[in-house]
Chain A
Amino acid sequence: ETGVTQTPRHLVMGMTNKKSLKCEQHLGHNAMYWYKQSAKKPLELMFVYNFKEQTENNSVPSRFSPECPNSSHLFLHLHTLQPEDSALYLCASSQDQAGLYGYTFGSGTRLTVV
């Protein structure tokens, strides 16, 4: 049991589709994160939420739209994606945004844009 659950595990979508990625944690953490992991590149931070409020948008294109309805759930809504958006999308959480003890990660959603 990872503590952070991401669904779906795999997703293939066309460039005109709209889909959503879901992340859920019941660790009592108050900060949640979306990361993009591409081959041979460092993990790229996309969004940070702290107590349901977005505290960081790391210059992410508007075709990615996050939503955090409560401290346990985080969504990433996708629309009009490009093939270069194909990657592993990882969700993580931490007790608070300080994250001094590291983050707990999910197993990611492998996204392929065709």
Chain B
Amino acid sequence: AQTVTQSQPEMSVQEAETVTLSCTYDTSESDYYLFWYKQPPSRQMILVIRQEAYKQQNATENRFSVNFQKAAKSFSLKISDSQLGDAAMYFCAYRSGSYGGSQGNLIFGKGTKLSVKP
């Protein structure tokens, strides 16, 4: 079964600086999808960025970018020019590229709590 590990329970960054959140996963598949979700105090999980495993190019969304290392099964999230509104729980998630049954469900890590200092 696939697993997702976020080894940093908490992280802190100074406003306007850059922070990297780590995520590793375990899978025997070659086709899959990876996601980063943000959960602010409002509790709604918001999709931050998505990566398709068969694409070598790292996904970017404005200040958010990923470092996808397929061989190392690593999927870290870099937040540039951190803002106070970036403070939240961040969850890494994996989805199999297979269809049907439970293979299509998202598997989440335990999350990293990010604090942003003014």
Contacts and interface: CB of A to CB of B under 8 A. Distances in A.
Interface of A: 2, 33, 40-43, 45, 48, 55-56, 58, 88, 90, 92, 97-108, 110
Interface of B: 4, 9, 33, 35, 37, 42-47, 50, 91, 93, 95, 99, 101-102, 104-111
A98 B106 CA distance: 10
Q: Identify which of B99, B101, B107, B108 gathers the most chain A CB atoms within 10 Å of its CB.
A: B108
A102 B107 CA distance: 11
| 9 A-B pairs closest in CB distance | A105-B45, A43-B108, A107-B44, A102-B47, A42-B108, A108-B43, A107-B43, A42-B110, A102-B35
Nearest to B48: A102
A48 to B, nearest CB: 7
21 contacts: A33-B105, A42-B108, A43-B91, A43-B108, A45-B105, A45-B106, A48-B105, A55-B101, A88-B43, A90-B45, A99-B106, A100-B33, A100-B95, A102-B35, A102-B93, A103-B106, A104-B47, A105-B45, A106-B44, A107-B42, A108-B43
A99 B44 contact: no
How would you classify the secondary structure of chain A's contact residues: helix, strand, loop or mixed? loop
Given A43-B108, A45-B105, A56-B105, A102 B50 contact: yes
